[in-house]
Amino acid sequence: MLAFRSEAHVDRWCEQTGLARGAAFSLETMWRLADAWYRDRLSTDWRRRTPDEAQALFTEVGLTGDFWRLT
Amino acid sequence: MKRNGTTRASRGSGVTELDDRVRVALYERFVEEGEAPSADDVASLLSVRVEDVTGAFRRLEEAHVIVLVPGTSDIWMANPLSAVPTAFAVETSRGTFWGNCIWDGLGTVAMLGGNGTVTTHCPDCEEPTTLRVDGGRLIDADGVAHFAVPARRWWDDIGFT
């Protein structure tokens, strides 16, 4: 889970490392997911999301499709 | 109803009330000190036996809340925080930390109030970049995040993910 300057840099890095290209998306979307995911982590009554809840959060920030399917 | 030693479905599989206390204590200490507490530290904080804390650490790892250094009871990750230096340096008013990845770097800022920076570099060109979050908003961030591993396989090898 890395940050690149652009999708072209992702493509070049994948070619050079031989790693398959996964999912690339905006840092704004990354922030929205990180904020929603971790905002309450220090709360005493925090609990881990169920797969359905996590899936709904991915959908809410626009991360959909087979790559994001948890089950 | 909470009862000591019992599980509650909403906590995740096998997580007990003691585990919740251990989780809260370890995160609070991690944030206060800027480094991961040991099982001994947490046992002292909670006035419980260290064996109880190491057991809680294992259950929290099984529940994908924390990650231990393989073969030890030492914390490697208390997501979003990393106990070891990474390529994701986080600065906030509550201290400096390491995130496990770009998700966790930004997540650390979110967890600590939504103001701070994450400094990393493009793995392709090595160009450094600092992402700034101000008042819960990401400011002028060019670039993209890339996840190499599909979501359902993230925990197959969380260190690589």
Question: Where is the domain boundary, B48, B78, B108?
Answer: B78
pLDDT exceeds 50 at position A61: yes
Question: Where is the domain boundary, B38, B62, B78?
Answer: B78
What are the structure tokens assigned to B103, written together?
């998700």
Q: Is residue B98 situated within a structural domain?
A: yes
pLDDT exceeds 90 at position A59: yes
Residue B73: domain span: 9-78
pLDDT digits (tens, 9 = 90+) for A21-44: 999 999 999 999 999 999 999 998
Q: Are residues B112 and B53 in the same domain?
A: no
Q: Are residues B26 and B63 in the same domain?
A: yes
Q: Are residues B18 and B40 in the same domain?
A: yes
Q: Is residue B129 situated within a structural domain?
A: yes
Q: Is residue A32 situated within a structural domain?
A: yes
How many helices and strands, by DSSP H and E, does chain B display? 4, 9
Does B145 sit within 8 Å of A25, measured CB to CB?
A: yes
The model's confidence at residue A71, banded by pLDDT at 50, 70 and 90, is confident
Does A2 sit within 8 Å of B123, measured CB to CB?
A: yes
What are the structure tokens assigned to A23, written together?
């999912």
From first to last of its 161 residues, what are the pLDDT tens digits of chain B? 333 344 444 455 567 889 999 999 999 999 999 999 999 999 999 999 999 999 999 999 998 899 999 999 999 999 999 999 999 999 999 999 999 999 999 999 999 999 999 999 999 999 999 999 999 999 988 899 999 888 888 777 666 66
Q: How many domains does chain B have?
A: 2
Q: What is the ipTM of this complex?
A: 0.95
Does A27 sit within 8 Å of B145, measured CB to CB?
A: yes
Question: Where is the domain boundary, B78, B95, B113?
Answer: B78
- Output the pTM of the full model: 0.90
Q: Are residues B92 and B63 in the same domain?
A: no
Could you give the 3-state DSSP secondary structure of residue B130? strand
pLDDT at residue B10, as a whole number? 47
Question: What percent of chain A clears pLDDT 70, i.e. is strictly above it?
Answer: 100
CATH code for the domain in which residue B131 is found = 3.15.10.60
Q: Is residue A2 situated within a structural domain?
A: no
Q: Are residues B88 and B103 in the same domain?
A: yes
d(CA A55, CA B24) in angstroms, rounded, equals 25
Q: Is residue B34 situated within a structural domain?
A: yes
Residue A36: domain span: 25-71
Does B28 sit within 8 Å of A67, measured CB to CB?
A: no
**Residue in A5, A11, A25, A43 to test binding to B, most B beta-carbons within 10 Å:** A5
Nearest 5°: phi and psi at B78?
-120, 85
DSSP state of B36: P
What are the structure tokens assigned to B43, written together?
């046992």
d(CA B90, CA B82) in angstroms, rounded, equals 11
Closest partner residue to A41 (CB to CB) among B27, B64, B147 is B27
Question: What percent of chain A clears pLDDT 90, i.e. is strictly above it?
Answer: 90
Hunting for tokens 């030890």 — which residue is that?
B72
pLDDT at residue B140, as a whole number? 80
Please enumerate in sequence order all residues whose Cβ is within 8 A of that of B48, keeping only pairs 6 or more positions apart, or say none.
Answer: B18
CATH code for the domain in which residue B58 is found = 1.10.10.10
**Residue in A30, A39, A40 to test binding to B, most B beta-carbons within 10 Å:** A30
Please enumerate in sequence order all residues whose Cβ is within 8 A of that of B104, keeping only pairs 6 or more positions apart, or say none.
Answer: A1, A34, A38, B77, B79, B80, B81, B82, B88
Q: Is residue B4 situated within a structural domain?
A: no
Please enumerate in sequence order all residues whose Cβ is within 8 A of that of B159, keeping only pairs 6 or more positions apart, or say none.
Answer: B67, B76
Q: Are residues B68 and B87 in the same domain?
A: no
Beta-strand ranges (E) seen in chain A are 2-4, 23-26
Q: How many domains does chain A have?
A: 1
Does A66 sit within 8 Å of B20, measured CB to CB?
A: no
Does A6 sit within 8 Å of B145, measured CB to CB?
A: no
Closest partner residue to A4 (CB to CB) among B12, B105, B123 is B123
Q: Is residue B160 situated within a structural domain?
A: no
